[in-house]
Amino acid sequence: MEYRSTYKSPLGLLLLKSDGLSMTEISFSEVELQEKNDCTVLSKCEQQLEDYFSGKCLGFDLPLNPEGTEFQKKVWAELLKIPVGETITYSELAVRLGDPKLVRAVGTANGRNPLAIVIPCHRVIGAGNKLTGYAGGLDRKLALLKHEMKSNPSKQTLF
């Protein structure tokens, strides 16, 4: 069974989906669900999003089960290793995955991340600190980075 709810974040509505055991999707949405069927995992996710946006805690501790290819899952697992308040480039991410030639594939996998914010694809930027690509829009990407960098002033980067 699929469980769904909508969370009102400072950056707009987020559609949350769970299989009852783990989170399967967090995406920006224009429409608030009229009916939601809640579960423990969704409630925990909503609370952690509340803590994140209030600045109380910027990390997440949720069971995740994103649907994707093995390569995409490797990219998403690597994204989870980027510390709060820090960024890396697509090239650095490709190197971390073992092949600097994978830059385009890494970018594509990053763009298909089904768990926005929790799997921090917003922490990946272009060369020269350039903000590039974000499914939620560059304004949201910038807002997320600025929000997180408040907790890590020594790593602040100008965009």
Catalytic residue numbers, as ranges: 121
Residue whose entry in the numeric block shows the structure tokens 């020269």: 128
The secondary structure element, H or E, covering residue 49 is helix 40-54
* Exposed / middle / buried, residue 53 (Cβ in 10 Å: 0-12, 13-18, 19+): middle
- Polymer length in residues for the chain: 159
Strand partners for 14: 7, 28
Contact 114, 75 (CB under 8 A): no
